[in-house]
Chain A
Amino acid sequence: MIEIAGLVKRYGRLPVLQGVNLRIARGRVTAIVGPNGAGKTTLIKTILGLSRADGGRVVLDGVQLNGGVDYRARVGYMPQIARFPENLTAAELLRLLKELRASTDHGRGTPDEELIDRFALGPQLDKPLRTLSGGTRQKVNAVMAFLFRPELLILDEPTAGLDPVASSVLKDKIHAERRAGLTVVLTSHLMGEVDELADDIAFLLEGRVRFAGALDELKASTRQATLERAIARLMTQEAA
């Protein structure tokens, strides 16, 4: 679904992405993993057009992204940090997004508000967002990502800040949508979570993809039983 070729991004003189090549398959869950500062969030933001690449290209369904915005009608995004205008309520925020998408949303059906019930967010919807806890705001964040029945879902550290119950709810939702054909790209530091959710994995180190492929493939090639050990193996191999 997404083809990334030779993607380069610098912040000032600091190189973040140094020629990333990656194919993300339709209908699968791809986890982007790697140490802090490896460029995971930058990669995601470049796909979303939030960051502008200095070189290389991102091709979505055969169309190269070049600053157009219409493709985002098919994309859902859950950012890492959930900070919203303090005096708005979650309900108002959701309404704003619906209004913003109204003109591009033909044929997407009614908004998917299943997570509102699953998270039991109902009573929180009409309170100012500043009064909600970090975890609750993160739930609102998750609701917004699924709201418009996206074809591509991009999640940046989705379960960070969620309690085990909410985290399970979110994972169940990701599984369900994946079965229904959704393509998911996510970043995570939790290898257990990646093991549970991902079909494919892309290991990012110092701005380059050091491994990309199916989870089982990685475990087999490093001869390790768990993902954590496989990744650890990969990192020590790099160091050697």
Chain B
Amino acid sequence: MSAMRGGVIARVVRYELRDVIKSRWLLGYALFVLLTTDALLRFGGGGTRALLSLTNVVLLLVPLVSTVFGTMYLYNAREFTELLLAQPVRRDELYAGLYLGLALPLALGFLGGLLVPFAYHGVDDASQWRLLATLALTGVALTCVFVALAFAIALRTEDRARGLGVAIAVWLLFSLLYDGLVLLGVMLLGDYPLERPLIAAMLANPIDLARVLLIMQFDVSALMGYTGAVFEKFFGNGGMAVAITALAAWVAAPVLLGARAFRKRDF
């Protein structure tokens, strides 16, 4: 029975992959990442500097593209979803198939765009390898998080313009507004010890989480002053495991939320 279930997911993934991989949007996204990486490696002055610049691309672009692509895909696939649900297929299986079928090509597009330029420009040393690997993994993790958030939002919002609006608002909140709010809090409450609240605030935002994971790999965390010291201490004490667990939870929570909405939804 479980083999049969896995079969349904794999089949949906395979055909969706075939559809998405031919989409011009995905091609454009992969090319953009590729050209940016190539340009930074060519003119950015050294692999490490290029990698540092690339963190910003990963932290802004990957969530945005995953959000927009995820929302639009689900709305466009509405009739396709209906057709598949009229087959002897369980909703959970179909949901898993639809999710993986989109998250997978997006992650592959990102990885291709990032890794191909490094393949022909070369990687200098072991520390650069570690940076590149962290960058690749956080990019994939953010793809999974934001496709899941997009699905959860699109499944709960009937109107596609509103759904897209809400999804972009969530992206804006996590990528830009959140840090401003945290900073405001720090300024207002500067007289109090803020180590723990700051760590909590970081764990509660997947983009901040990814940012800190990345920054900690560079030798620039000292530049982050007070907060840098807080995180240094946190990660020194096994915080890395906590951070990775939190990022995994950030994938799992919206996936489950979306699955619940998918189970109850009327098509």
Binding site for B on A (CB under 8 A): 11, 45, 48-52, 69-73, 75, 77, 79, 81-88, 92-93, 96-97, 99-101, 103-104, 128, 144
Contacting pair B22 A92 (CB below 8 A): no
* B229 touches A (CB below 8 Å): no
Query: What are 15 A-B interface contacts by the 8 Å CB criterion?
Result: A48-B86, A52-B266, A69-B88, A69-B90, A79-B79, A79-B82, A79-B83, A79-B86, A83-B76, A86-B76, A88-B15, A96-B11, A100-B88, A103-B4, A104-B88
Which residue in B19, B22, B90, B267 is a CB contact (below 8 Å) of A50? B267
Having A73-B88, A87-B21, one finds 7 other A-B pairs with CB under 8 Å, namely A50-B267, A69-B90, A71-B88, A72-B88, A84-B80, A87-B18, A100-B11
Chain B residue with minimal CB distance to A12?
Answer: B158
Binding site for A on B (CB under 8 A): 4, 7-8, 11-12, 15-16, 18-23, 76-80, 82-90, 264, 266-267
SS class, residues of chain B in contact with chain A: helix
Contacting pair A52 B264 (CB below 8 A): yes
Contacts of A72 in B (CB 8 A): 86-89
Q: Please report the C-alpha to C-alpha distance between residue A86 and residue B12 in the assembled complex, in whole angstroms.
A: 15
Q: Please report the C-alpha to C-alpha distance between residue A81 and residue B22 in the assembled complex, in whole angstroms.
A: 23
Q: Please report the C-alpha to C-alpha distance between residue A48 and residue B82 in the assembled complex, in whole angstroms.
A: 10
Q: Please report the C-alpha to C-alpha distance between residue A103 and residue B90 in the assembled complex, in whole angstroms.
A: 13
| A-B contacts, CB under 8 A, total | 80
Q: Please report the C-alpha to C-alpha distance between residue A71 and residue B21 in the assembled complex, in whole angstroms.
A: 33
Q: Please report the C-alpha to C-alpha distance between residue A91 and residue B101 in the assembled complex, in whole angstroms.
A: 19
Interface hub of A71, A72, A79, A85 (most chain B Cβ within 10 A):
A85
Q: Please report the C-alpha to C-alpha distance between residue A52 and residue B267 in the assembled complex, in whole angstroms.
A: 9
Contacts of B77 in A (CB 8 A): 85
Interface hub of A71, A81, A103 (most chain B Cβ within 10 A):
A103
Chain A residue with minimal CB distance to B101?
Answer: A85
Q: Please report the C-alpha to C-alpha distance between residue A81 and residue B267 in the assembled complex, in whole angstroms.
A: 12
Closest 7 CB pairs of A and B: A87-B22, A85-B19, A83-B79, A77-B86, A51-B266, A72-B88, A50-B267
Contacting pair B7 A103 (CB below 8 A): yes
Contacting pair A92 B18 (CB below 8 A): yes
